[in-house]
Chain A
Amino acid sequence: MSTRLAQGGRLIDRSRQVSFTFDGKTFRGHPGDTLASALLAGGQVVMGRSFKYHRPRGAVAYGVEEPNALVNLGEEGRFEPDTRATTQEIFDGLVAESQNRWPSLDWDIGAVNSLFARFLPAGFYYKMFIHPRAAWKHLFEPFIRRSAGLGRAPRARDADRYEHFYAHVDVVIAGGGVAGLAAALAAGRSGKRVLLVEQSGHWGGRAVVDGARIDGKEAADWVADAVAALDAMPNVTLRTRAMAAGVYDHGYVLVHERLTDHLADKSGLRQRLWRVRAGRIINAAGALERPLSFAGNDVPGVMLASAMRDYLVNHAISPGDRTVIVTNNDDAYRTALALHEAGLIVPAVLDARPVADGELPERARAAGIRVETGRAVVRVKGRSHVTGVEVGLHVGEGSVLEEIACDAVAMSGGWSPVVHLWSHCGGKLNWDEAQAHFRPDPERPPLGADGTGFVRCVGASNGHLRTGDGIADAVAGAAWATGADAGKAPAGEDADEGALMPVWLMPQGAGVKLRAKMWLDYQNDVKVSDVQLAAREGYESVEHTKRYTTLGMATDQGKLSNINGLAVLSGALNAAIPQVGTTTFRPPYVPYTLGAIAGSAARETFMPLRKTQMDSWHVEQGAEFEPVGLWRRPYSYPRLGETVKDSVAREILNTRKNVGILDASTLGKIIVKGPDAGRFVDMMYTNMMSNLAVGRCRYGLMCNEQGFLVDDGVVARLSEDTWLCHTTSGGADNVHAQMEEWLQTEWWDWQVYTANVTEQWGQIGVVGPNARKVLEKLGGMDVSKETLPFMHWAEGELAGFPVRIFRISFSGELSYEIAVPAGQARGLWDAILAAGAEFGMQPYGTEALHVMRAEKGFIMIGDETDGTVIPQDLGLNWAISKKKDDFIGKRGQQREHMVDPLRWKLVGLETEDGSVLPEGAYAVAPGDNANGQRNVQGRVTSTYHSPTLGRGIAMGLVERGPDRMGEMLEFGAGADPVRAKIVDPVFYDKAGEKQDG
């Protein structure tokens, strides 16, 4: 059983205790413990269950690569699933729970899957559950879904806050081991801006655990000095608990920083996503140890040799009383020695190599440890805990020579550099035969915009596993990143290591029964036999194998399993590993929260909210809002006891009878100015705009290149060389962007400037028969019919406010649209309301606006248009200039289908009984088309109850519609279609007298 030793533990503070619960049971640890180390200290080796077979599992690793020890953490708004016990630091009151088991961790019903494991090989679900058809959806899939998944789904809204942080640096260094620190020191001395990030809570990485010496000092002392020196450099920023998650094009790096996850006090910001633009990126992320593939390598108590050393040195954890070491390299002997020095028993080191005569094996022998070469673990004994190992010859097929009793096994299959950040943007790898791993190919780095590499791996992540080499490499990397001379590298020393021997199957000739018990991907339960099955069935590409078996798709993203799986595949295909290939790495290096990606944009501020100057007034009036693009606009202003439907009707009737006031500030306003502005607006609009007189307004249409109508609005000529283009509220940004695109890409030699001044102006509509009286009462400029007729505009003063008044109408009523500098808009609004009171003035919202325009037969972009409608369909031929040589969309509109006489055209529609036609209904035609769909001949585009007329009115597009006035159409399918008559689309004031008034 695992336990805490009486002495040691460089990271823990024994003077203090921290208490927490796991599956309801109280445990105690020390500050500096992770959840995994504290559980091990408490004798809790089993921490989770695997995905498919629900096998009991303990922590196999020490860090982010852990696939087994995942827990449900926290409660309610701070609950999260799938948290790695190996990286979660403990704090007082922490609550953790094991996952993927029912009813309990020790006794899990799902473990029956394990009994049927032989009938559930890789990809079994592709071959089963085919019949009967309905059973997949109703029986098998629900069953599979329930037994899959890992942690519990959170229920509550997240109680924490997140933020984004922007940084621009010359060099980012990922990884705070000795290589990262050495690189940072060298880069820092050059004066460049440097950001050094370390994912764990402490500096120094492996060297401090493994007893290396640097510049004659203990590694730990050198690290402390280095951090102090870096702290003193103003151009260097250091962050722990900050993981470089991904490298993107153009030196963009994302760093995920955890601020309160390790604290009991959660009141602060939880996590921060750093968005870094870096000139150069140094990846000093180290290397990860690989498991060995022997039968039972997943039994709790089997651990990576380096992880066991970490638990021992950092947390004084004894993994068990008797630990067998199994290895193919010298490094694992460090674990044997460390255990031995801690007074624990190492019954044997089983080394697969025929000879082991390096410095470390010799030291082990000298310490009296039994070292057996050419040996393999044939099988680990025990179910929920290691009880012993069966030992055989590595070159054999698995006959057992000896059984050794033990309660822990430390394994080492060699090391794989962490090359993720190198690979994210396409850096390529080479296979290193001697060290049996992929390492960066310096000739094929990820390329930046200047065609040179912008990422470099240093230290262990570059395949330099020895301390001295790694540090020298890191200093060279700093010189590359800064372009400055980096000076002399600190000298690192550690024990000499003999060569490793690749071992991908243990023992080498293991038969099929043993191979079915060798785990590659622990979490997803992918075994050696599964990869071999995939190869046998023709899933030969690594990607096929991965997908067929789910190898490397677990939450550790194959950190432990990818290379081992690849090697097994290459064995099965009889091809060299580099020929079989590697898989691409995708961000993130370690999974991080969606909350951090969303950042502080949540709830009200989740998208920017655009408000007009009158917004607070609308709120005071109890307006119902609707989103229009990023704006919010009052939909209507229901009074106490009124439904929205009632209030819309009231607003319309009052506007038509007395006078209404509309906040039209969201209307797009784009200034087009310059010597070529007239030419330009002529291209943008279908109508002629260059000949508009100063002081006049004209309704204009904008099409895209295909000829389809995309926006409309009134254009006013402000001066000889200036036009003001009004656009729809939602369309302003797009229209402006389109204008700029044309100007910048096609007509770059035209002298035209555009400016989107939408927010610089408030705009107020005063609409209705009493509109002029209200303005006259306000006093100021002459707004009489004679001085300011319909479709004119003028500049002047109103109640002392500087204004531009446009005589335009979207309702069919006498109407003034008053533009006023935004800062004064609310003042004018209040003044108008005060003046309007005696004339029965009431505000109206967007719905009243829509209904009134429909009563008048005016089209609405987005209702009558949908990207497939040309102006000609809407009877707007009068707004298409025949004189102009060209305008955007002209050629498009000349195509065959656009001039087809059978096109659907705009009409009005009236039901027989005055009811409202259903939204979006289609007019059916006799018969079916060749695909068996019902033929149609038109559709409803806008449909409303008109309070003015007291009946339903609609607009629609109908095949040859304008030629078929008076005809009846049937809308909708099914039992009772609605009948409606084709009528003129102008329902109100056909003569247009009111707006001219």
Chain B
Amino acid sequence: MKRYSVFAIAREGLRYHQGWERAWRSPAPQKRYDTIIIGAGGHGLATAYYLGKNHGIRNVAIIEKGWLGGGNTGRNTTIIRSNYLQDASAAIYEKARSLYETLSQDLNYNVMFSPRGVMMLAQTQHEVRGYKRTVQANLLQGVATEWIEPARVQELVPIISISGPRYPVLGAIWQPRAGTARHDAVAWGYARACSEMGMDIIQNCEVTGIDRDGDRVTGVQTTKGAIACDRMGIVVAGHSGLLAQMAGFRLPVESVALQALVSEPIKPCLDVVVMANTVHGYLSQSDKGEMVIGGGADGFNNYTQRGSFHHVEETVRALVETFPMISRLRMLRQWGGIVDMTGDRSAIISKTPVRGVYINCGWGTGGFKSIPGSGWAMAELMAKGEPGPLAAPFSLTRFREGQFIDESVAAGVAH
């Protein structure tokens, strides 16, 4: 495959870009593969990539019911941070963040990781204590965060109003190497690299059944026919419950809509990501100039990828109050995605009751940031049959044992 570079662009430019190859092949499915990954979202693609790259497992098909990256991977607000409170979370999110740092070079695809800094505002005394605790925890976890005072908040974010009146900014937790990346590029970059390793990405192919021989998986039924395999990873986010049902087990996961919106584009005025959890909203500015806005998830379960307007209202109200200058900007587009929520709001990377079936889900409202780390840990689990230290705490058994990884204390909105 041709490498991407400024020279390649120049060469192609001279011949009107007629020579570019496909970024990924579009093959018909074979009869069997060693390994099948269901779901070509970021997590599924990253799992496949690290299976190939770290473990030499390349006879892999990635099966996608729609178009790759078209689930939440292509709908999220792209915040990447690792300032989590609990050790298990901090470990996997920091692993992911550090992989993001070099992902463009690894994949030879510019995913535009932009470590512009993420700030989470403290607007109540309770939040001040919570974030100070997180800073303390991060220090011991090797995650670089700091507590900053309101004056520094104002300096980093000139457009913010720190004086209230209702919820004045009392300080913030600041992670300078956190940031954003281009969501589509993450999916496309991984897909291109997987295809390059010889893996088959099969789009527009829905898995409709999972075949078992006793407690062992043997393959899948799809809208493009049956495909056999020895080993399978289910990585389908909001649809995990359905796939688990096909495989014959249950998951402690609920699906709800999470929404986001963008404004019309304006010249740069916000260089960092700001999250305000007390008032439920967060804001960043994309490279195109749109103000990217998100908030809390809907309180009821559904699969429609539409949310209720009152959440948009609540979020916008909070942000207009926090960033008064956005009031006269216009909402350009609003959308939703179905996120998979577990009881403790942390992910599942685990073996399942069916031998050969592994599951990765439960990233809920905040799994874009974890894509490389999750893929890394999931690949290790699938290759070895046992979890490594990154994945181990995220096992399904934790719900039975009560060993939760609860982040709710640190962040009401967990993106």
Interface residues of A (CB under 8 A from B): 51, 78-82, 118-119, 121, 124-131, 133, 136-137, 141, 144-146, 148-158, 160, 246, 248-249, 252, 254, 275, 424-426, 512-513, 516, 529, 533, 536-541, 543-544, 547-548, 550, 553, 555, 557, 586-588, 591-595, 597-599, 601-604, 606-607, 609, 626-628, 635, 706-707, 862-863, 866-868, 892, 895-898, 918-922, 924, 929-934, 936, 939, 972-974
Contacts and interface: CB of A to CB of B under 8 A. Distances in A.
B135 interface: yes
Given A82-B265, A598-B317, A898-B402, A154 B329 contact: yes
Contact of B16 (A80, A246, A512, A972): A512
A129 B7 CA distance: 11
A473 to B, nearest CB: 27
B335 A586 contact: yes
A919 B87 CA distance: 18
A594 B331 contact: yes
Cβ-closest 9 pairs across A and B: A920-B133, A149-B289, A930-B389, A895-B402, A153-B269, A591-B330, A158-B327, A127-B4, A866-B409
Given A126-B110, A151-B267, A867-B408, A931 B91 contact: yes
Interface string B339-355: 00001000000000000
A587 B124 CA distance: 34
18 contacts: A125-B110, A127-B5, A128-B9, A130-B108, A146-B268, A149-B265, A157-B161, A529-B16, A543-B70, A544-B67, A591-B331, A592-B331, A598-B316, A706-B343, A892-B402, A895-B401, A919-B132, A930-B392
Contact of B263 (A51, A553, A594): A594
B113 A136 contact: yes
Given A137-B115, A149-B265, A595-B328, A897 B20 contact: no
B102 interface: yes
B105 A973 contact: no
Contacts of B110: 125-130, 136
A555 B142 contact: no
B334 interface: yes
Contacts of B313: 597-599
Contact of B104 (A130, A598, A628): A130
Contact of B279 (A150, A607, A628): A607
A27 B137 CA distance: 62
Contacts of B343: 706
B136 A918 contact: yes
Nearest to B102: A133
Contact of B265 (A148, A249, A628): A148
B316 to A, nearest CB: 4
A547 B70 CA distance: 11
B390 A931 contact: yes
Interface of B: 4-6, 8-10, 12-14, 16-18, 20-26, 66-67, 69-70, 74, 87, 90-91, 101-102, 104-105, 108-110, 112-116, 123-126, 128-130, 132-137, 139-142, 159, 161, 165-167, 182, 184-185, 188-189, 203, 263-269, 278-279, 285, 287-289, 304, 306, 308-309, 312-313, 316-321, 324-335, 343, 389-390, 392, 398, 400-404, 406, 408-409
B330 A604 contact: no
B70 A141 contact: no
B308 A128 contact: no
A709 B129 CA distance: 19
Contacts, number: 326
Contacts of A603: 165, 321
Contacts of A918: 132, 136
B290 to A, nearest CB: 9
Contacts of B408: 866-867
B75 to A, nearest CB: 11
A146 B223 CA distance: 46
A685 B69 CA distance: 47
Contacts of B90: 933
Given A128-B4, A141-B287, A148-B288, A529 B17 contact: yes
Contacts of A922: 136-137, 140
A249 B333 CA distance: 17
A538 B321 contact: no
A128 B325 contact: no
A594 B327 contact: yes
Nearest to B107: A130
Contact of B132 (A136, A160, A920): A920
Contacts of B124: 626-628
Nearest to B402: A895
B134 A920 contact: yes
Chain B CB within 10 Å, residue with most, of A537, A863, A936: A537
Nearest to B268: A145
Contact of B267 (A149, A628, A863, A934): A149
A130 B330 contact: no
Contacts of A426: 304
A939 B289 contact: no
A548 B189 CA distance: 12
Contacts of A124: 9
A753 to B, nearest CB: 24
Contacts of B17: 121, 529, 533
B401 A897 contact: yes
B264 A126 contact: no
B66 to A, nearest CB: 8
B325 A627 contact: no
A312 B85 CA distance: 65
A503 to B, nearest CB: 22
Given A133-B102, A150-B265, A627-B166, A541 B134 contact: no
Contacts of B289: 145, 148-150
Given A126-B185, A130-B110, A973-B139, A248 B402 contact: no
B205 to A, nearest CB: 13
Contacts of A78: 328
A897 B309 contact: no
Given A252-B309, A597-B331, A933 B141 contact: yes
B74 A136 contact: no
Nearest to B201: A538
Contacts of A547: 74, 184
B114 to A, nearest CB: 6
A512 B18 contact: yes
A538 B267 contact: no
Contacts of B113: 136
A128 B115 contact: no
A425 B306 contact: yes
A905 to B, nearest CB: 16
Contacts of B320: 158, 594-595, 597-598, 602
Given A130-B4, A540-B26, A602 B321 contact: yes
Contacts of A548: 184, 188
Contact of B332 (A555, A706, A868): A555
A931 B306 contact: no
Contacts of A591: 263-264, 330-332
A867 B409 contact: yes
Nearest to A934: B140
A534 to B, nearest CB: 10
B321 A119 contact: no
Given A80-B329, A513-B16, A246 B309 contact: yes
A889 B148 CA distance: 38
Given A543-B67, A586-B333, A82 B264 contact: yes
Contacts of A149: 265-268, 288-289
Contacts of B4: 126-128, 130
Chain B CB within 10 Å, residue with most, of A137, A156, A544, A626: A544
Given A128-B9, A150-B267, A151-B264, 14 more contacts: A126-B188, A131-B5, A133-B101, A136-B114, A157-B324, A246-B309, A537-B21, A555-B332, A594-B319, A594-B330, A597-B331, A706-B402, A868-B404, A920-B137
A603 B166 CA distance: 7
Contacts of A595: 320, 327-328
B327 A157 contact: yes
